[in-house]
Amino acid sequence: MLQSGTPPQTHPYAATAATAIYRGDVLKYVIGTTSVGPAAAGDDHIIGVAAEYCGATDTDRQIEVYDDPTTIFEMQASTATPALAHVQLNADHVATVGTLYDTTHNPKRQDKAGISAHTLDVNVASNLTQLFRIIGLAPYANNAWGAYAILLVVFNEHLLKRVTGAT
């Protein structure tokens, strides 16, 4: 999910109790606690992307997080059809296990591999305030504009990018 010329930094955060966090999950700061947990579309207080897997029953509830709001990530588009016209538009993520994945990637094994099922919902791509900004198509052979394309994105909304006094 990362795309960068230099290795991005991670920082440790406490993970919410009894909640599985998958590598690549978008994470939010859980208000009223000192922990982070998986974010749903439209959530506020986004802090970053999980760098590792943390099982729901793991006793060590610390997780490394890519929390630099300028990091460029790769994110698979959902079943919608992204196009060049979506570049520089904003889109939200979809946190759904398996159902939005390209079936050739065997999403039913997501829980065993510890890999996120978050995808980018280009159905709602607009100039409005949404979590990610699409900046391009990931440079891979056989990656093309269309359903399940791998896109390059940066955070449009992020807790560390907020203006002083904003909630």
pLDDT 10s digits, 117-135: 677 777 665 666 677 778 8
pLDDT score at 147: 77
Do residues 51 and 81 both lie within one domain? Answer: no
Q: What is the pLDDT of residue 12?
A: 94
Kindly state whether residues 81 and 146 are assigned to the same domain.
Answer: yes
Domain that holds residue 52: 11-66
Dist. CA 87–CA 65, nearest whole Å = 26
Per-residue burial over 6-31, b = 16 or more CB atoms within 10 Å of its CB, e = otherwise: eebebeebebbeebbbbbbbbbbbbe
Q: How far apart are CA 57 and CA 139, in angstroms?
A: 37
Decide: helix, strand or coil at residue 10. coil
90/122 same-domain check = yes
In this structure, are 56 and 129 located in the same domain?
no
Name the more confident of 103 and 159: 159
Do 81 and 143 lie in a common domain? yes
pLDDT at 41: 74
* Least confident piece of the model among 15-29, 59-73, 96-110, 144-158: 96-110
pLDDT surpassing 50 at residue 109: no
Q: What is the pTM of this model?
A: 0.75
Assess whether 79 and 150 both reside in one domain.
yes
Domain shared by 155 and 88, yes or no:
yes
